[in-house]
Amino acid sequence: MLNTLAAIMTPYLIAALGGLFTERAGVLNIALEGQILVGAFAAAAVAGTTGSISLGLLAAIAAGGILSYSYASISLRLHANIFVSALAVNLFASGSTQIASQILFSTRGVVQFSSFPDIKQISIPLLSSIPFLGGLFTNQSPFVYFSWFLIPAAAWLLYKTPYGLRVRAAGFQYTALYVRGVSGRRVRETAMLISGITCGISGALLAFNLGAYVPNISSGRGWIALVALFLGNKRPGGIFLVSLLFAGAEMIAQSAQGSGVLPSSLLLAFPFFITFIGMIIFSALSGSLNSKEDKS
């Protein structure tokens, strides 16, 4: 069970940790969904045709990075509305992947390959034999271990390095960066680029797990990752816990689909229902805290 839970959590966690940088830089990045989608298509297309997981991953990183940098340039350099630009990115990702699929593979549906490379599963000696928790370290994808590494790496980069200080300053006191001779726009652009790269990796993992590309393969994971960012109090450790919660909701929905107790469409919506309830609770708690601060 823990093995499956960790695998389901990984795409959420990787995308949310990347989105953390844009949020800390003062940019609400609602384009995570589109960046995951193009990453998944690029990974599937390249890995499926070349038989190389590494090349597929590089393609996903490039696709997510290019899309995020384009989004940053339009929003920050041309001063387009950040929300409209993000929605345009999501729509562009959905439409462009279908067009590319039609041109390259003559289909706008599922893109399958005769021989898709498998991801080698890795078990960590000693840790895999730990009672109960051993499943977390048994036959896991390297992406799972990579996502765990990202948690302390993101915390170190944000809170222990000059770059992290600049990112947080861009979100807290943007003009102060110019006093120090630092371009706040460039800081935000790099933060958005980091987010695009992590979303590309997240999308690649989805494609690798299926061994194919499916339209709308992201299935709202970008939006859920954005919610995890806020419910996790914009901290790597909190994001991990909330991602684990959403992964648990998805695992329950998947397990219950074969029971026939509830309609499958309702079960598929269960993770989004948990997201909805979480945002209501978060908004209520935030409003209560702000009200107390105003009275004091």
* Spatial separation of the C-alpha atoms in residues 76 and 55, rounded to whole Å: 31
Q: Is residue 182 part of a domain?
A: yes
DSSP labels, 5-18: HHHHHHHHHHHHHH
Q: Is residue 286 part of a domain?
A: no
Q: What pLDDT shows up at residue 45?
A: 94
- b/e burial code for range 265-275 (CB count within 10 A of at least 16 → b): eebeebbbebb
The answer to whether the beta carbons of residues 38 and 96 sit under 8 Å apart is yes
Q: Is residue 254 part of a domain?
A: no
Tens-place pLDDT, residues 183-240: 889 999 999 999 999 999 999 999 999 999 998 898 888 988 998 898 888 899 999 9
* Spatial separation of the C-alpha atoms in residues 156 and 149, rounded to whole Å: 11
Q: What pLDDT shows up at residue 256?
A: 67
Total number of domains in the chain: 1
Q: Is residue 68 part of a domain?
A: yes
Q: What pLDDT shows up at residue 71?
A: 93
* Spatial separation of the C-alpha atoms in residues 202 and 16, rounded to whole Å: 10
Q: What pLDDT shows up at residue 293?
A: 52
Instruction: Identify the domain containing residue 53 by its residue range.
Output: 2-119+127-218
Tens-place pLDDT, residues 156-173: 999 999 999 999 999 888
Q: Is residue 109 part of a domain?
A: yes
How many other C-beta atoms are found inside a 10 Å radius of the C-beta of residue 9? 24
Q: What pLDDT shows up at residue 230?
A: 87
Handedness of CA 162, 163, 164, 168 (dihedral sign): positive
**Residues with pLDDT less than 50, the chain:** none
Q: What are phi and psi of 139, to 5 degrees?
A: 50, 55
| Residue in the block written with tokens 């026939």 | 260
Structure tokens at 274: 């948990």
DSSP labels, the chain: -HHHHHHHHHHHHHHHHHHHHHHHTT---TTHHHHHHHHHHHHHHHHHHH--HHHHHHHHHHHHHHHHHHHHIIIIIS---HHHHHHHHHHHHHHHHHHHHHHHHS-SS-EE-SSPPPPPPB--TTGGGSTTGGGGGSSB-HHHHHHHHHHHHHHHHHHSSHHHHHHHHHHH-HHHHHHTT--HHHHHHHHHHHHHHHHHHHHHHHHHHHTEE-TTTTTTHHHHHHHHHHHTTTSHHHHHHHHHHHHHHHHHHHHHTTT-SS-HHHHHTHHHHHHHHHHHHHHHHHHHHHHHHHH-
Q: What pLDDT shows up at residue 295?
A: 56
Q: Is residue 242 part of a domain?
A: no
Q: Is residue 251 part of a domain?
A: no
Q: Is residue 227 part of a domain?
A: no
